[in-house]
Structure 1
Amino acid sequence: MSTNIVYLSDLRQRPRLYTAFERRRHTSIHWFVELFAEAVSALVGVGSQALYVLGNILKVQGASSILQIGLSYACGILLALGAITITQMLFHGFPPLKGLRYMAAQIFGGYIACLLVYVQYKTLILEAEAALLPAGPGVSALAANAARDVGGRLAALTIWGMPAAGGSYAALAALTNIPATLLACVVYELMLSDSDRVVPAAHLDVINVHKNHRRLGGRPASPASDPNLDGKGHVGEVERV
């Protein structure tokens, strides 16, 4: 029994400018949209975390909270993860050049985010810097994931120069999550993955909806039929749980 396919554009017309850009977004500049998502993922959360740290140093009440930081980073995780990109490259055939672009975009996003935070909270940052100077170089630092740590470290070097490099601690903070994520992937594939699991009908419905996207012309979604779908979690891939 055939099923009528209804596209969103059949129900809601958009201005021509938006429609024209959407077509380009799905074709010639699709790479830009991917990198934008990766960069935005690194932007999210940095401001909340910076304000929380500044609030603790300067004893400012209500500057931020652990809950706010957690929610902010959760939104960022929905968009991208640097270590997951590396894992996909090594174990799931993710294109290496595309992966490198993703990681560069993540680091660049973290770099820009930290510069924006500095501009926004410069007064508080300078007050915190003055308060920390008497404590000397032994003040504890912050460990973040690779994208935010490397991007943030580069931003600190841009603002304060080489004294902000962080020494050996910088490499430890920036790179720890990568081997940890790779190990987690290996453990998952060996001990938890179940390829014989039955795919629920609702999951198949979601996959078929993606396959019928107008850009694909109703053809099965695969890297061969659409080079834009060779990225993380492309719609032709059934998740193994």
Structure 2
Amino acid sequence: MSHQPQYRPADDDHSSHDDKHVEHDHQNQEALHHFQRPTRTPGQLELGATEIVEGRYDVQREVVASAGIANSHFRHVWDQYRPEWLSALVAEFFGVWFYVFAGEAATATYVLTQGQQGNLTMIGFAYALGITFAIVVCAPTSGGHFHPALTLAQVVFKGFPARKAPGYIIAQLAGAFVASLMVYSIWRTEMLEMTELLTAAGKRAQVFSPEGPAGILAIFPTAGRKMSEIFANEFFGDMFLALVIWSQLDAQNVFVVPSSAPLTIGLAFAVIVWGFSAGSIVTNTARDVGARFACGVIWGKECFPSKYSALAALTNIPASFLGISIYTFFLSDTRRPPANLALMHMLEEEKAKHLLATTTHDELLDKRIERVISRGGDASNLQKRKSRM
């Protein structure tokens, strides 16, 4: 007979026999082999996704005690000797890797199938979800910059140590570089075949365009557009993005909660793809420079358009600083209370309003009952209504 998982309220202090059994397993775990796993007892949840109930405030988890490498002595020793900077750089690397890999993979599917599979909406969501996953997975370790302009902004606006910035930026560039090479390794045959076909047809320039194989990795200017228009598209798009990102870092913003920030930032990038990509937009120096060097490894110097490369790599930095400055000096205020205090204040105000409303209603109902009685009427229905409130 199978046992169903049992949940108990967090304020239930009753200690069952199963609890004592689990506690006994914990105490004796070190005496066992590091890979010795306690036996699951009735009522316990199995190891896996169920472990997230540990963070729930309304239930007390009962999950079988973990063992293996994740709970081994080796891991504790490794945590002691692992440099903190190493974890931060690995997180910044993979943060950029997540969204570049996801976005370029979606772009490759679209370009190499000539639009038969995928579309701009799919690409936008790929970048959005890639960034969301990057924040969820990597931000707790490094702070989640994933963007050289944001790293520099953290130094200027929030006092992030300047000595750490170069390492962060190099890790970000490396993340985009490796992600691009991985996408190329997956689609190598198709990308080279498309390159050969376009070259043989005398359309070599199309290889290095948004619709070409090199354009899957690196961003290239849209044909026929003036550089001034491309600059405006990049600058204003990046300013828009910076405003959204910085708002999600504002502890005073009552509309921001930790669980919503990753998706909000991800959707902002999706909007950029949907609304600005036709005019050529990069948004991130790491995504541009890292991917462009990966492109250069494969196709050579043609991946570096003389009039566009500097614009693509650098425009997002002043644009981001402008957006962040607008938010800092005009849209936020040092006198605002932190969001948690503000929300509690709002809660108290709502309670006061509710109390006033109910009190007023009771007073008016009492006066109505008095008038009915004074006129010799039957106020029993009104009195019943009051008793039910």
TM, length-normalised to structure 2: 0.44
Does the C-alpha gap of structure 1 residues 189 and 202 become closer, same or farther in structure 2, counting only changes over 3 Å? closer
What is the CA-CA distance between 1:119 and the residue it aligns to?
1.4
The one-letter code matched in structure 2 to 1:68 is: A
Cα separation, 1, equivalents of 2:336 and 2:187: 51
RMSD: 2.7
Decide which of 167, 174, 187 is 1:121's aligned counterpart. 187
Of 161, 166, 178, the residue aligned with 1:95 is 161
Percent identity between the aligned chains?
Answer: 31
The whole-number CA distance in structure 1 between the counterparts of 2:133 and 2:319 is 21
SS at match of 1:45: helix
- What runs of 5+ residues in structure 2 fail to find an aligned partner? 1-54, 56-64, 211-219, 221-279, 343-389
Gaps of 5+ in 1: 1-7, 204-241
Q: Which residues of 2 match residues 91-240 of structure 1 at below 5 A? A: 91-133=157-199, 134-137=202-205, 139-140=209-210, 141=220, 143-144=281-282, 145-201=284-340
**Higher RCO, 1 vs 2 (CA within 8 Å, ≥6 residues apart):** 1
1:49 Cα deviation after fit: 2.6
Contact 1:52 1:63 in 2 (8 A): yes
Q: Which residue of 2 aligns with 1:61?
A: 116
| TM-score between the two structures when normalised by the length of structure 1 | 0.69
Aligned residues of 1:143 and 1:149 also touching (Cα < 8 A)? no
Q: Cα gap change, 1:128/1:74 in structure 2, threshold over 3 Å: closer, same or farther?
A: farther
Counterpart AA for 1:61: Q
Give the C-alpha shift of residue 198 in structure 1.
Answer: 1.9
Q: What CA distance in whole angstroms lies between the structure 1 residues aligned with 2:178 and 2:84?
A: 22
The answer to whether the 8 A contact 2:98-2:134 is kept is yes
Q: Deviations 1:104-127 (Å, cap 9, x if unpaired)?
A: 110011111111221121012113
1:185/1:201 Cα in 2 relative to 1: closer, same or farther (>3 Å)?
Answer: closer
Partner Cα separation in structure 2 for residue 130 and residue 35 of structure 1: 38
For residue 168 of structure 1, give the secondary structure of its aligned residue in structure 2: coil
1:110-162 CA-to-partner distances (Å, cap 9, x unmatched) read 11111122112101211332354443426342642210110011111222222
1:35-82 deviation digits (Å, cap 9, x = unpaired): 001110111122333333333333263367222232113333553332
Amino acid at match of 1:154: F
Runs of 4+ in structure 1 deviating by more than 4 angstroms, as ranges, are 200-203
- The letter for the 2-side match of 1:149 is D
Q: Deviations over 1:164-197 (max 9, x none)?
A: 2222211111212111110011111210122112
